[in-house]
Structure 1
C-alpha cells in the first residue's frame, strides 16, 4: 500500500519545491560551467583585443562546447524533484558521454568562424568589396545558428555526425522560430558582454543555457517525434 493518501501531494512535487529545485540545479550547473571552461576563460581574459589574436581566441573557446553540452544535458534530464536532485552527477555523465561527438562539431565550427572573422577583420587590407563582406557576415550567422542547433542535437540524441549536421541545417528552415530565438539570445549575450563584462556573461551561463533549451524545444520535440523510434 502507498503511504500517501489520495489527493495529497508528495513532498518535492509542489510549485515552490520545483522552483527551489530549479534554482539549486541552475546554481550547480553554473559552478560546473565555470569550472569546466576556466582553462580557456583565464587565458582568454588576458588576450588583447586585436584581430591577430582571433586564432588564440578560438583555441581558448574549445572547452566551452563540451561544457555547454553538459549543461544542456543536465537541464534537460534533471528531474525537478527536491527528493532526487543530482545535477552534478547528471552534468558529468553528459560531459563524458557527449565529449567526442561535441568536439567533432564544435572544433570545425570554431575553425570556420575564425577564418570568417579574420577575413572580416582584414577586409580593408585585402580590399574586400562590400557585397563580399555581406556574404561573409551571412555565412558567419548561418554557421553560428547551425552550430547552435547541432550542439543541441548532438547533446540530446544519438545520430551520426553527418546526420546531426543535416538535421541542424534542416531545422534552420523547418522551425524558423528556433534560429530567430537563438539569434536574439546571442545578441543579448553580446549586449551583456559589451555593457558589463565577460565575467558577468559567464555568471549568467546556466540561465542562458536554460533559455537556449527552451528556444530549441520545438526542434527537439519534432526530432523526438519524427526521427527517433
Structure 2
C-alpha cells in the first residue's frame, strides 16, 4: 500500500495526499484501513457516531476490531469520508515499521484514547466540543477523559483542570497523551488520584500514575 493516497474533494475539487493511519491490534501489529484507490470521497454533512466506525481485520492474527472511518479535512471546510478496501488488513508487525522508517508510526491519539477507554470497560464514548486548545475532551459511560494532542509534555495545570472537571461532572477522570508528563504533573496526579496514561510508539496506553494502574488491574490486569 502506498504511504499516501490521492484524494479529490468533491466540493471544491482540490487534490490532497492522504496518509492512512495505523492502529494497534492486540497482537501488536499495526492495522491500516487502506482507502480504495480511485473511489470518490463522500462529504460528511451530518455526523452519525455509529457510521464513524468500520470493521478492520488484522492481517497478522486475523482478529477483527472496530476502528475510525478514514476522514480528511479539506481547506474548503468539507470533511470527507474515504471509502476503504473491502478487506483491509494489517501492514505488518509494529517493530519492523519503526525500524524501516526510523521513526514511530503516526498514531491518532484521540482514536487511540477511545479504543483504550473501551478496553477499560467504558463504552458509548463521545467527543466533547472544545475550542482554543490542543486538548480534546471525551465522555464515556462512567468516566471523563482528555487527550492532549500537542507535541509537548502535559503539565500540572492540565492535570488539575481535568480533575476539577471530573469533580463537577461527578465522574472519575482519565488523561491520555503521546508526549509524556512533567514530574510535577505526575506528582499532582498521584496526590489527587487522577489516572494518567502515556501512548507509546506502538500505540499502547501505558499507565504512569497509581490511579491508572488501578484502572488497568480492575480491567483484568491489561489494556
Q: TM-score, normalised by structure 1?
A: 0.30
Which of 1 and 2 has higher RCO (CA within 8 Å, sep 6+)?
1
Rg (Cα) greater in structure? 1
Between structures 1 and 2, the one with greater strand share: 2
Q: TM-score, normalised by structure 2?
A: 0.30
Between structures 1 and 2, the one with greater helix share: 1
